[in-house]
Amino acid sequence: MKVIIGNRAYSSWSLRGWLAAKQSLLPFETVVVPMDTPEWKSGAAKAGMPSGKVPVLWDHDVPVWDSMAMIMWLADKGGHDRFWPREWPARGLAYAMSAEMHSGFAPLRAGCPMNLKQRFPTFQPTAEIMADIARIEALWTEARQRFGEETGEPWLFGRFGAADIMYAPVCTRIDTYGLPVGGVAAAYVKAVLNHPWMREWTEAAKAETFPFDRYPIPGGVPA
């Protein structure tokens, strides 16, 4: 298998797709295509991207694009229990939370783009951003209290899985922009950022030297 991703420092959807491939435990190759280069803008760099976007999974000659589709495909290939809770009530909540992340939270996405190279200590979130954070905190708290805490593990549903993958970029945003969250969310963010796969991704992101200026937010300092 091959996973095509964009810049690790800025591409939240690439992070989700790559984490899904790691979670499958199936062997794969990672191919980085720097975004917003002249080649990217002209389309010349987008060979192998049916939608013109990243991430894309190639499983032999089968392309699967969009991170949610990749999770579904890899769960079919590697086992649904690796990605989703076994119990039906927990699985239903995990499906719904993942779908809400996939389609929602536009103010948070637009106002706090993923950035693993900088932090913004003076950032002032809008009311709309904080409304998104409040909703996310409520979801995390529900999952943890109903299905996660009794396992002794820090993940949303006891074992690291698809819901954690979908919300991993939110954890980076909370850290990058210093967004205020309560104790349950703060502990969860710390656990996600300290996951070995997240540390691997972040270290590679900080080593990137690709020029990228799509998100010119003032007040950034090196992360």
pLDDT in tens, 163-209: 999 999 999 999 999 999 999 999 999 999 999 999 999 999 999 99
Name the token pair of 24. Answer: 């499958």
Residue 158 gets which letter from DSSP? S
Contact 35, 7 (CB under 8 A): yes
User: Helix or strand or coil: residue 151?
Assistant: helix
pLDDT in tens, 126-170: 999 999 999 999 999 999 999 998 888 999 999 999 999 999 999
CA distance 216 to 218: 6
Per-residue pLDDT, 149: 86
Task: Indicate whether 20 pLDDT > 90.
Answer: yes
**What is the average per-residue pLDDT within 40-63?**
96
CA distance 103 to 66: 12
Per-residue pLDDT, 151: 85
pTM score, whole prediction:
0.97
CA distance 123 to 195: 26
Name the token pair of 136. Answer: 């996310």
Per-residue pLDDT, 216: 87
Radius of gyration of the chain from its Cα atoms, rounded to whole angstroms = 17
CA distance 42 to 205: 24
pLDDT in tens, 56-114: 999 999 999 999 999 999 999 999 999 999 999 999 999 999 999 999 999 999 999 99
**DSSP output for 26-40:** ---EEEE--TTSHHH
CA distance 111 to 97: 21
Contact 7, 210 (CB under 8 A): yes
Listed residue (160, 184, 163) closest to 174, CA to CA: 184
Neighbouring C-beta atoms of residue 213, cutoff 10 Å:
6
Q: What are phi and psi of 143, to 5 degrees?
A: -65, -45
Sequence-ordered alpha helix ranges (H) in the chain: 12-24, 38-42, 67-78, 88-103, 106-111, 127-143, 162-177, 183-193, 196-207
Listed residue (218, 115, 198) closest to 154, CA to CA: 198
Lowest mean pLDDT among 3-7, 12-16, 150-154: 150-154
